[in-house]
Structure 1
């Protein structure tokens, strides 16, 4: 079963993401801040990372840059999870190394489609 690491500091958003990841047939891994998420990515080697862009210890773009610079994690796709939907935000997050983008509040159909597309692109 493919593993998806969710890095999200909001308990409500984490609960929803875990439910959605589970319902798409994937095993969720959870981290409530970027540092724990980076450690978990290195130790568990998930198939995909869902990265909140606004985390308490460092922002998601910085955490993504760290993961993409590390030989052991650079090939793991990172999908931005963000409430920031301003013009240009998607492009900034993709330029920062994210492989996909999901807006909050999360819509199940677009969530499942984005996860499937990013995982298919990895294979």
Structure 2
């Protein structure tokens, strides 16, 4: 069965790039631009992995990761945080919120796909 990945990214170009790369690698993708719809969409599609931008308008990706970890239906889904936040301590803060992986933008395709594959179950 094809693995489903939810891509949470408000930047249209980044979202399209991530989705195109994932589709080219045989994944099904669920793009989400609106941070306010992330948890509802995740519960509806139950993806195998969530790729989460941290800087979203109106809500922080860190808050969404924490909320997903508290949600019984979502807590086991790995989250790959992808962010322009790359200051000292940011990775620790994002991982302590519950992110399973962390990549700093700009992201190269090879490390991106390696991180995705490392976090997918089975």
TM-score interval, normalised by the smaller of the two chains: over 0.9
Match of 1:115 in 2: 116
Moved over 3 A (4+): none
- Counterpart of 2:37 in structure 1 is 36
* Cα separation, 1, equivalents of 2:24 and 2:7: 14
Q: CA deviation at 1:57?
A: 2.1
Unaligned runs of 5+ in 2: none
Q: Name 1:26's counterpart in structure 2.
A: 27
TM-score (norm 2): 0.94
TM-score (norm 1): 0.94
Equivalent residue pairs, number: 121
What residue in structure 2 maps to residue 101 of structure 1? Answer: 102
Contact 1:33 1:57 (C-alpha < 8 Å) held by counterparts: no
Taking the aligned partners of 1:61 and 1:98, their CA distance within structure 2 comes to: 8
**Unaligned regions of 5+ residues in structure 1, if any?**
none
Tell me the distance in 2 between the aligned counterparts of 1:74 and 1:55: 21
Q: Which residue of 2 aligns with 1:56?
A: 57
CA RMSD of aligned residues (A): 1.0
Q: How many Å separate the matches in 2 of 1:60 and 1:31?
A: 12
Q: Assess if the C-alpha contact under 8 Å between 1:100 and 1:118 holds in 2.
A: yes
- Any idea what SS the aligned residue of 2:56 has? coil
